[in-house]
Structure formats: structure tokens, C-alpha cells
């Protein structure tokens, strides 16, 4: 029988604004959560865990490294009683660059955060879900990947387009195992960082991270049995 309950979840890039909203909403609904963060953030991990009275454990590692990803998922399974119902992958970075002058190291950084972490950690999560014959994985891409890519967005959007390809193809692999793989495609998130970076842009149509978190959680409920391989645009205000 399908129940509308997410009992266990993992959240990548757990210190990001959207990830913290996901964690808050999940814990409030009774979900046991493991968050993944980067090495060096030990103090932030302690502070975040302290907010949730044992309902959140933060593990640190390199999400783009195969060995670290394997260890992180194994640790999460031990903490969560051997089962991960849902994984939310919020890792990502943005920068404005033209192809003609973008440094190779910046392209590598974009792909590392936006794509490599997704498939390296994502496939370990996928493997952990297979024996149970169920599970859901939700990624965060970008709305403009399904529109014409504007000047200066090329390297960033290329990394997100690679992520879209991962979502669609991993969803195809997950069909026989009952694993749903989808991605939300938001416009600009309404965060302090984005407001400081773009002070002259009207932010009234930007997306509230709490609303995006709510959408992501809703779309990964066990009752959403036929939703997989979807790239779902999300806007803060319909234009």
C-alpha cells in the first residue's frame, strides 16, 4: 500500500538556503534526515544539527569523489536504518561567463558542482534504493535550460543541461526498480546572496526558497507514483 509519508531522506549541499528549508519542512513532518556538506564545515554542521534534536545528522565529504560518495551513502544508511526514501540534491554554483574568455578552471568548477556531484553521489543513492524497489531522487536544474540560452550563461547552462540529461536517462534506468528521478527548474531564487549580487534587479518575481522546498517535497511523496523523468519549471510569479 502506498503511503503519503517520507520516513527518511538525504539532502545534498545541506547548508544552502533551499536545502535548509527542505530539512526544516521534512523534520517538522517527522522525517529523519541526513545532510551532506563539504569538508571544512564542521562548525556549521554542529550548529545545524543542534537545531533539530537528533532528527538531523550532517556528514561531510567531497560529493564529486567516488570513494567519499560511497562512504557518505553507507553512513547515511546506517543512520537511517538501512533505507533512504528520498534524496534531494541542492548542490550548485553560478557564474556569468562568455565562452570566448571563460577560464577552463571555471568551466571545471561549474560542471563539478552542477553535474559531477549529481551523478557521483546520485548513482550511489540510486544503488542504495534498488534493493527496496522504490525511492525518489529530486535534482535542482535551471528554468532557462528549456529556453534559448542568453549570452553569458553558456558555461553555467551547459552544466545544467548535462544535469537534465542525467535526470532523463537515470529516470529511464529507474523504471524497472521503482525509482523516480525528476528535477525542478527554478528561475532566480530570492536569497540574500542573490539580492546582493543583483541589487538593481526587481526581485518581486523571484522564488521563495520555502515555496521551492515545499514543491520538491510534494513531488517526491510516495503517492506520486507516475512522475519520473520530468523537468519541472518553477516560477515565483507567473509572467
Task: Calculate Rg over the CA atoms of the chain.
Answer: 17
Decide if 218 is inside a domain. yes
Handedness of CA 184, 160, 167, 73 (dihedral sign): negative
pLDDT per position as a tens digit, 179-234: 999 999 998 776 666 666 566 676 666 788 899 999 999 999 998 888 999 999 99
Decide if 3 is inside a domain. no
Residue 193's domain comprises 8-234
- Is residue 235 within 8 Å of 143, Cβ to Cβ? yes
Decide if 2 is inside a domain. no
Q: Which is nearest to 27 in space by CA: 77, 88, 70?
A: 88
| pTM of the predicted model as reported, rounded to 2 decimal places | 0.94
At residue 40, the pLDDT reads 95
The alpha helices in 92-221, defined as continuous H runs, are 104-111, 117-129, 154-174, 192-197, 209-219
Residue 19: phi, psi to the nearest 5? -60, -40
How many structural domains compose the chain?
1
CATH number of the domain that residue 102 is part of: 3.40.50.720
91, burial (CB in 10 Å: exposed 0-12, middle 13-18, buried 19+): buried
Decide if 239 is inside a domain. no
Amino acid at each position: 500500500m502506498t503511503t503519503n509519508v517520507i520516513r527518511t531522506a538525504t539532502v545534498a549541499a545541506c547548508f544552502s538556503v533551499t536545502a535548509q528549508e527542505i530539512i526544516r519542512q521534512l523534520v517538522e513532518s517527522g522525517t529523519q534526515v541526513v545532510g551532506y556538506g563539504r569538508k571544512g564545515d564542521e562548525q556549521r554542521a554542529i550548529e545545524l544539527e543542534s537545531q533539530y534534536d537528533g532528527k538531523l545528522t550532517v556528514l561531510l565529504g567531497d560529493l564529486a569523489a567516488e570513494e567519499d560518495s560511497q562512504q557518505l551513502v553507507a553512513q547515511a544508511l546506517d543512520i537511517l536504518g538501512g533505507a533512504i526514501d528520498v534524496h534531494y540534491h541542492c548542490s550548485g554554483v553560478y557564474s556569468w561567463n562568455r565562452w570566448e574568455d571563460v577560464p577552463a578552471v571555471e568551466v571545471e568548477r561549474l560542471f563539478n558542482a552542477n553535474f559531477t556531484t549529481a551523478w557521483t553521489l546520485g548513482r550511489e543513492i540510486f544503488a542504495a534504493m534498488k534493493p527496496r524497489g522504490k525511492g525518489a531522487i529530486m535534482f535542482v536544474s535551471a528554468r532557462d535550460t528549456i529556453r534559448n540560452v542568453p549570452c553569458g550563461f553558456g558555461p553555467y547552462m551547459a552544466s545544467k543541461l548535462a544535469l537534465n540529461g542525467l535526470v532523463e536517462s537515470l529516470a529511464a534506468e529507474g523504471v524497472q526498480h521503482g525509482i523516480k528521478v525528476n528535477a525542478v527548474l527554478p528561475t532566480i531564487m530570492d536569497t540574500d546572496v542573490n539580492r546582493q549580487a543583483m541589487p538593481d534587479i526587481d526581485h518581486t518575481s523571484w522564488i521563495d526558497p520555502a515555496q521551492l522546498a515545499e514543491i520538491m517535497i510534494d513531488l517526491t511523496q510516495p503517492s506520486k507514483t507516475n512522475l519520473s523523468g520530468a523537468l519541472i519549471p518553477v516560477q515565483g510569479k507567473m509572467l
